[in-house]
Amino acid sequence: VAHPSPALIVDLAAADRNIERAAATFRDGPVRLRPHFKAHKCTTLMRRQLDGGGCCGVTCATAWEARVLAEAGFDDVLVANEVADPAGLAHLTAAAALARVTVCVDDARHVELLAASGARLGLLVEIDVGQRRCGLRPDGEELLPLARMIAETSGLELRGLQGYHGHAVLLESRTEREQEAARTAEILAAERDFLLAAGLPCDVLSGGGTGTWDLPGVLTEVQAGSYVLMDASYGRLDLAFEQALFCRTTVVSRRGTRIVLDAGLKALSAEYGMPRGTEPGLEVLSLADEHATALVPEGCALQPGDTTLLIPAHVDPTVNLHPALYVDGEAWAVDGRTR
Ligand SMILES: Cc1ncc(COP(=O)(O)O)c(C=O)c1O
């Protein structure tokens, strides 16, 4: 199959080995994997992850993604986020008509909006375990009134807590990741105990990412997403997963040791820095809209018209720039974005 240049290429054998490594850990429980869709937004790949085993459902970031997943037949979907806009609430309602949908809240207003949507939804109260994004302060004070309000609202089911330590998942030191994961566990256990002591349910403790995938602590489910395709940022950590995503790009110009490739910011996110080359000694210096400028060793044979593979620095925003992933000659739609 002729694919465009630049194009995202998946090494399916490597992705399958990543799926199997995760499945081997989670298959026997009690902790399960709830793979995060936002890493690649491709339902074909997500189906393969669930078929690999060890999963209790899927995670996604937006109500729109939940709708895409529910319509694609995924029957247990967590939106690991707060939803407060009318379009989002409508997508949640549509998704909840097809699948078991759970969503996060950290404010009474969320509960009012979700109740008014009329959808039957599971709810997790989000706790800020140190990321300083969404979530209640972890002192139990705000938790109980909000949890009681949910428990008393018809159509909504209090299922438990979310605590995502986004500040910890990319720490290069395993010891530091262990410390942060332990802190998360301590916070979530205390919040869970507040709920249980008040006679409120807390069956689900959801959180974790690729950098902490094997440090669940008290979590009942782990929301890792990047592990299946990986990227250059996670590649710096000592994780058990292999690089499975590459941006195939064409050399468009060369002057001595400076080459220009046809993949720029419209094909690769620079949020976490420059992509990594696979060609020995190739170093990407900068990305412009349509071009990457790189240095290569003098002996490098790359000439205009040749292709080379780059490893994206950050998988999620990179895949989000592309309509498809190319897998063994097939185009797999990034349908969580394009549908
Ligand atoms: C709420 C939430 N859970 C889990 C993840 C896991 O992502 P990753 O696999 O990239 O660590 C993320 C990533 O940003 C997230 O925002």
Is residue 62 lining ligand 1, measured as CB closer than 6 Å? no
Is residue 209 lining ligand 1, measured as CB closer than 6 Å? yes
pTM greater than 0.75: yes
Is residue 9 lining ligand 1, measured as CB closer than 6 Å? no
Task: Look at residue 339 in the predicted model and tell me its pLDDT.
Answer: 75
* pLDDT tens digit at each of 339 positions of the chain: 568 999 999 999 999 999 999 999 999 999 999 999 999 999 999 999 999 999 999 999 999 999 999 999 999 999 999 999 999 999 999 999 999 999 999 999 999 999 999 999 999 999 999 999 999 999 888 999 999 999 999 999 999 999 999 999 999 999 999 999 999 999 999 999 999 999 999 999 999 999 999 999 999 999 999 999 999 999 999 999 999 999 999 999 999 999 999 999 999 999 999 999 999 999 999 999 999 999 999 999 999 999 999 999 999 999 999 999 999 989 999 999 977
Task: Give the burial class of 172: count Cβ atoms within 10 A of its Cβ; 0-12 exposed, 13-18 middle, 19 or more buried.
Answer: exposed
Q: At what angle do helices 63-71 and 43-52 cross, to 10 degrees?
A: 70
Task: Look at residue 214 in the predicted model and tell me its pLDDT.
Answer: 97
Task: Look at residue 83 in the predicted model and tell me its pLDDT.
Answer: 98
Cα 27 to averaged position of ligand 1 atoms, centre (Å): 21
Of 108, 109, 122, residue with least CA distance to 66: 122
Is residue 166 lining ligand 1, measured as CB closer than 6 Å? yes
**Which of 129, 161, 167, 169 has most ligand 1 atoms within 8 Å of CB, for mutation?**
169
Is residue 80 lining ligand 1, measured as CB closer than 6 Å? yes
Task: Look at residue 329 in the predicted model and tell me its pLDDT.
Answer: 86
Residue with CA nearest ligand 1 atom 11: 209
Task: Look at residue 205 in the predicted model and tell me its pLDDT.
Answer: 98
Task: Give the position, in ligand 1's atom list, of the atom nearest the Cα of 212.
Answer: 11
Of 192, 186, 168, 163, residue with least CA distance to 80: 163
Task: Look at residue 216 in the predicted model and tell me its pLDDT.
Answer: 98
